[in-house]
Amino acid sequence: MKFIASFLMMILCFASSLHADEDIFTNEPFTSIKLKKDLSYRFRLANGDILTGQYKEKGENTIREDSTIIESIIVKAMIGDITLYSDEIAHIQTIRSAYRQQSSLYFMPTADPIGSDSYVSITQLAFVQAGFGYEDISVNGGMTFIPGLSFDEQGKHVNVKYTFYDEEQENIPGHYSLAGGYSLIYANSANLIQHAYMIGSFHMPRTILTTALFFKTGSENVYEANAGRWGSGIINFNDGALGFGLGFDIRLFSRHDTRVLAELWCADIMRPRNSAGFIGLRLNNDRYSMDAGLAMFTAPAIVPAVRFQWLPFN
């Protein structure tokens, strides 16, 4: 009996120590995230400013003029320890999830899910796209809006992706994600090009490395795409073609809002001339982003490329 009593007392003491080490909050946004001491967070303040720092401890409460009790936290930032009150903070995210555009590069998807970072984007001022996620399932799709083309002549795209593996690395900082998906591309409504793909993304402190393999499915090898008054063209794309993609997303030193994007992909490894690339910059915050750079094709052709993205939620 003494042994059982001692064992129960030890469990109670252990549980009490865990509970004591965890600060309890009642104000939003502190209740929306479990703050862990000495972990770095990104804070978006009510006035739109961004602050990055380590959570140290719960601060003292204050009372506003309307008698509302406001909780506070103490954050260790580069300029020193700062007290932040709950009504001064619009949103809190961990550093890992603070980069909300990490589900895709310019052309290629990454293995990371969209999650709660639903978005609307416009590419080349002609292709409008939207994406949303539920847990590890991501869905995005869009359509071109080119003047002079009918609905059937416009290009369309639907993509479904499932992130089935996500693990933190033990020996080096970062994590690795794996995903699989299926893509439908309509070069006119009559021409359906389908791909199944596997993709992996390795996150390092400043760099995300993404590799992809995609396999063309379906039965057609030749497609005639009609561009209305601009004429038509033939697309040769053999069924069963195996392609690959390689992409880098690199954060610049001491900047949280500027990244370098670089991509190289080949639609058919048996036809290296069916390749393209992109290099440019991404300017981003937790609400908007702009990608701008150069898209390169083996025609040869170099085309200015730009995309704007809006994340309306959170």
pLDDT (mean) for 288-292: 95
19/191: higher pLDDT? 191
Q: Report the chain's mean pLDDT, rounded to a whole number.
A: 85
How big is the CA angle at 118 (ends 213 and 34), to the nearest 5 degrees? 105
Q: Please give the model's pTM, rounded to 2 decimal places.
A: 0.79
User: Domain total for the chain?
Assistant: 2
Confidence band of 223 (pLDDT split at 50, 70, 90): confident
What is the residue range of 83's domain? 2-95
The tens digit of pLDDT for each residue in 236-283 reads 777 888 999 999 999 987 777 899 999 999 988 888 888 899 999 999
Mark which of 28, 63, 95 sits at the end of a domain. Answer: 95
In Å, how far are 16, 31, 43, 208 from 97, measured between CA atoms? 30, 17, 12, 13
Confidence band of 18 (pLDDT split at 50, 70, 90): very low
Q: What pLDDT is attached to residue 14? A: 43
Say yes or no: 110 and 259 in one domain: yes
Say yes or no: 66 and 172 in one domain: no
The tens digit of pLDDT for each residue in 175-213 reads 889 999 999 998 887 788 899 999 999 998 889 999 999
Mark which of 95, 112, 134 sits at the end of a domain. Answer: 95
Say yes or no: 141 and 265 in one domain: yes
Q: What pLDDT is attached to residue 1? A: 52
Q: What pLDDT is attached to residue 6? A: 52
Say yes or no: 72 and 127 in one domain: no
58/97: higher pLDDT? 58
pLDDT (mean) for 35-60: 86
Say yes or no: 59 and 162 in one domain: no
Say yes or no: 297 and 228 in one domain: yes
pLDDT (mean) for 55-68: 85
Mark which of 80, 95, 110 sits at the end of a domain. Answer: 95
Q: What pLDDT is attached to residue 231? A: 66
Confidence band of 8 (pLDDT split at 50, 70, 90): very low
Say yes or no: 221 and 292 in one domain: yes
How big is the CA angle at 297 (ends 292 and 301), to the nearest 5 degrees? 85
Say yes or no: 186 and 221 in one domain: yes
**CB-CB neighbours of 38 under 10 Å:** 8
Say yes or no: 80 and 111 in one domain: no
Q: Which residues pair with 134 in a beta bridge?
A: 137
Say yes or no: 108 and 26 in one domain: no
Write the secondary structure of 4-24 as one string of H (helix), E (strand) and C (coil).
HHHHHHHHHHHHHHHHHHCCC
What is the CATH number for 206? 2.40.160.40
Most confident of the following: 1-10, 144-153, 167-176: 144-153
What is the CATH number for 83? 2.30.30
User: Above 60 in pLDDT, residue 7?
Assistant: no
Q: Which two tokens stand for residue 310?
A: 């809006």
Say yes or no: 54 and 103 in one domain: no
Please list, residue by residue across 192-201, b when 16 or more beta carbons sit within 10 angstroms of its beta carbon and e when fewer do.
ebebebebbb
Say yes or no: 11 and 51 in one domain: yes
DSSP 8-state symbol, 252: P
